[in-house]
Structure 1
Amino acid sequence: MNIKAALLAVAVTLLAGCASTFQYSSGSEEYRNKPLVISSVKVEVRLDSAKQPKGYLTEAEIAETVRADMIRLLQEHDAITYAENAADGLSTTVKLNYFRKFSYGDAIAKPEFSGSIYVDHGSKRLGSRSFAKATTKFGGFTDAMVNAEVAVGKWDHEDEPRDLEVIASVLVSDLEDF
């Protein structure tokens, strides 16, 4: 084995060990690395906004929108099942810090968000994950079009649910790592 192959093997081993960002509690082993069944989704939002123009969602509306988007995405997911009354289902709680940024007038820029995800079974915490401040990314050409709309002040309250759907998608993707 040459030195490059040995270093690559060490790097892969280290990265694989660091890939999971969930902090697990004892007793979580029986739920990890098998198909997840989520039976409850709760979203708590702390909205930071310089102003609240007419038409923009409130904290409660943002929380319900993200929750509904997460449930829809979980129902469409192959590796995670959403079954509201599942006997052995897990519950997930998201604590979301949502910073609405304004550009021109009442138009908004892409929001920033951060927070934590908790996975519980009954009253027992199985794991948690914190995520640092990030912004929404739509991918490829769509992201370029959104950036153009933001740049000219055309991204507004009618578009904010699209940002929230991206956030919900990120959260569901994070649950895959449980």
Structure 2
Amino acid sequence: MFPARLCMQSLEWSYCSLNLTTMAALATALRHSNMTSLTLDTTNIDVATLPTLLDALLETNLRRLKLSKASLEDDACVLIAAALPSLTIVELNLSYNKLTDHSAKVLAEVVGRATSLTSLVLYDNAIGLQGATTLVKALSGRPQVTTWLDLGWNLFNHDEADWLNDMVEKTPQILKACFDQCRG
């Protein structure tokens, strides 16, 4: 599929299924590449293939990773979270997946060690107030500033979104956040 390492900075794949063979080929091409942005949008990513991708990303300077509409569930988020502190990811977008409070809590446990991460998009998942609160507290307690946190269209009501916004307003560590129906 890819004869050598990729010499491009950005790759966007949409509407495809990444099986073990295609993910292995992508991972081989990504290793030591100049890639700074990878989008696998509206793809079906089998959780069994995810470690192959994450291992390859350890050998890149990838700054932006978007795995939106990738049918990801909590088990996939656990793998991503475990790799996050070792990656150079600045922007992580896991929107439109099936992530729950468990994913938010797992991410909260590692964001303090993910020093390059400044933007986290978890828009339109299945995260409730408890998971969102845990994540806001974790981001508020780390020395790095989070420029954008998007938890819009998750499982909390407008009053709970207002309460989360109040939490964010009390911390200088999160510059901008969305907990409602906004897009930014």
Give the TM interval when normalised to the shorter protein.
Answer: under 0.3
* Alignment TM-score, normalising by the size of structure 2: 0.21
- Higher relative CO (Cα under 8 Å, sequence separation at least 6) belongs to 1
Structure 1-normalised TM-score?
A: 0.21
Whose radius of gyration is greater, 1 or 2?
1
More strand by share: 1
